Amino acid sequence: MGKFDAYKIQLKSLPEGVREYRFHIDDKFFSEIDGPEVHKGNVDVLLQVNRKRDTFELKFKLDGVAIVPCDRCLDNMETPVNTENTLSVKFGSGYSEEGDVLIVPESEGELNIAWFLYEFVALEIPMKHVHPAGKCNKKMSSVLRKHSGRVAADDSDEDDSTYVEEDDEFYEAASENDPRWDELKKIIDEN
């Protein structure tokens, strides 16, 4: 039995009508699928498969959390996953896609949904994922301030929320006024 055999839907043997499946994807699932975005999580999945002759409409409802590294301090943080997705499938001679329809070989008559589940979770992760103000790892925030040129009067007592709230504006201002960039611009202008 393969790692993801539990996620195979036997389409060919399904009777016409609606059939429900429930899955739970956890840390083991994410580590085995080895995707680039999410490595941990806890998500419940409800799948409804509606068969009409040789076409299938798969409706996925995912609810739970994905655990991803914070972009600022690299500590793990929870990101909510609450999404509904639809996948249309029909039988054909081989695997392919025609617009929004996935074609699976009729000879096999099954579809492994493991990668689709991973993609649905990964698409729920925001482009920028950071802890709420004041929740980042204090030591890492201190190191970040030190290396970004931001000097604090007393790093041990400083409230990180000020740094977090001003983060985007700080980096924009730093990139405009950083003398290292001015030196690089001079080199480019000379050539």
For residue 147, is it within any domain? yes
User: Does 104 share its domain with 12?
Assistant: yes
Residues 33 and 93 in one domain: yes
Residue 129: inside a domain, yes or no? no
Residues 40, 99, single domain; the answer is yes
Domain for residue 132, yes or no?
Answer: no
Question: Is residue 133 one of the residues assigned to a domain?
Answer: no
What parts of the chain have a pLDDT lower than 70? Answer: 1, 149-177
Closest by alpha carbon to 46, among 22, 29, 24?
A: 22
pLDDT at 176: 59
Domain final residue, candidates 122, 150, 171:
122
Q: Do 61 and 144 sit in the same domain of this protein?
A: no
In a domain, 18, yes or no: yes
Instruction: Report pLDDT for 8.
Output: 94
- Counted domains in the chain: 2
Query: Is 150 within the bounds of a domain?
Result: yes
Mean of the per-residue pLDDT values for the chain? Answer: 83
Q: Which of 97, 41, 29 is nearest to 65 (CA)?
A: 41
> What confidence score (pLDDT) does residue 142 get?
81
Q: At 98, is the secondary structure helix, strand, or coil?
A: strand
**Same-domain status, 112 and 169:** no
CA dihedral 22, 28, 30, 31 (to 10 degrees): -160
Cβ neighbours of residue 30 closer than 8 Å, sequence gap 6 or more:
38, 39, 40, 41, 118
Q: Answer whether 142's CB lies under 8 Å from 73's CB.
A: no
- pLDDT tens sequence across 35-89: 888 989 999 999 999 999 889 999 999 999 999 999 888 899 999 999 999 999 9
Q: What is the pLDDT of residue 156?
A: 44
Whether residues 26 and 99 share a domain: the answer is: yes
- Residues 68 and 109 placed together within one structural domain of the fold: yes
Quick check: is 130 in a domain? no
**End position of a domain, from candidates 90, 122, 154:** 122
State how far the Cα of 147 lies from the Cα of 161, in Å rounded to an integer.
Answer: 18
Please give the Cα distance from 83 to 123 (Å, whole number): 9
Identify the burial level of 129 via C-beta atoms within 10 angstroms of its C-beta, where 0-12 means exposed, 13-18 middle and 19 or more buried: middle
14 and 41 assigned to the same domain: yes
Quote the domain boundaries for residue 82.
Answer: 5-122
